[in-house]
């Protein structure tokens, strides 16, 4: 597969993931207003954005394969959010446990897929741990700034 195809696939994966994630956030009653939804979505996007920038500037010959696979990982996590989004939209089922369970499942799957991507391409483990660090910061920001669940 050419680098151009990999680039287009990565863009498609991230675009679809963004749409699905926005739908997920938009139908969840735990969000109180549009600024909170935008902040939450922005935090999630920034986590991926940092990794995209790092891959673009630090990886050479494996850059496009990694970005394509990273986009697929992001999309896989978002697809896991679809049952909640559909249920909340169609039948008004939108409990907090369903919301949190969807998020936890999506994060667990993305952690596994990201690790597999790093392994498959023979990248140093620091790529995986860098993403885990970004994920930990993103989760902390979601719990403190977006939802005020944790107070420091």
Quick check: 81 and 102 in contact, CB under 8 A? yes
Q: How big is the chain by its Cα radius of gyration, in Å?
A: 16
How many Å apart are CA 118 and CA 56, to the nearest integer?
A: 15
Report which of residues 88 and 142 the model is more confident about.
142
Label residue 94 by pLDDT band (50, 70, 90). Answer: low
- Domain range list for the chain: 3-146
How many Å apart are CA 95 and CA 70, to the nearest integer?
A: 30
Cβ burial 44-75 (10 Å sphere, 16+ → b, else e): bbebbebbbeebeeebeeebbbbbbbbbbbbb
pLDDT mean over 121-136? 96
Label residue 4 by pLDDT band (50, 70, 90). Answer: very high
What pLDDT was estimated at residue 91?
Answer: 84
Q: Does 89 have pLDDT greater than 90?
A: no
Question: pLDDT, tens digit, for every residue of 20-34?
Answer: 999 999 998 888 899
How many Å apart are CA 17 and CA 74, to the nearest integer?
A: 6
pLDDT mean over 8-27? 96
């Amino acid at each position: 597969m050419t680098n151009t195809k990999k680039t287009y696939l990565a863009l498609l994966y991230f675009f679809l993931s963004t749409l699905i994630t926005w739908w997920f956030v938009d139908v969840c009653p735990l969000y109180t207003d549009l600024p909170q939804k935008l902040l939450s979505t922005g935090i999630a996007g920034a986590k991926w954005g940092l990794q995209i920038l790092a891959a673009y500037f630090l990886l050479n010959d494996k850059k496009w394969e990694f970005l394509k696979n990273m986009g697929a990982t992001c999309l896989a996590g978002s697809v896991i959010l679809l049952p909640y989004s559909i249920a909340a939209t169609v039948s008004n089922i939108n409990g907090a446990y369903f919301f949190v369970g969807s998020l936890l499942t999506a994060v667990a799957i993305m952690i596994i897929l990201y690790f597999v991507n790093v392994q498959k391409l023979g990248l140093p483990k620091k790529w995986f741990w860098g993403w885990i660090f970004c994920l930990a910061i993103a989760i902390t920001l979601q719990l403190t700034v977006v939802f005020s669940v944790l107070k420091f």
